[in-house]
Amino acid sequence: MAEPSKTAKQKKAVLKLIERYYADLADLARQHVMFEMGTRYAFHRLMAEAGKPHGWTLIAEHEKKSTGRPSGRTERSRTR
């Protein structure tokens, strides 16, 4: 029997990661944890594991410093 291709192995690995992610979510749902902060761990685990084969590291909640102008702001309307 022929050796499975590298692409086929990668797809299988990704599918396993996704299955684990959904299993983690199902476990959290059974515990009535279905809010963003509660499910964040499952997503971080998925992203960290998916990045390992590519040499990527997940840096969760990385704070980005900004030295420029803010994206926008609001002010009260001025009437003359």
pLDDT in tens, 47-63: 889 888 888 888 877 66
- 34 pLDDT exceeds 90? no
Better-scored residue on pLDDT, 79 or 19? 19
Q: What count of other Cβ atoms lies within 10 Å of the Cβ of residue 45? A: 15
DSSP state of 61: T
CA 42 – CA 55 distance, rounded (Å): 20
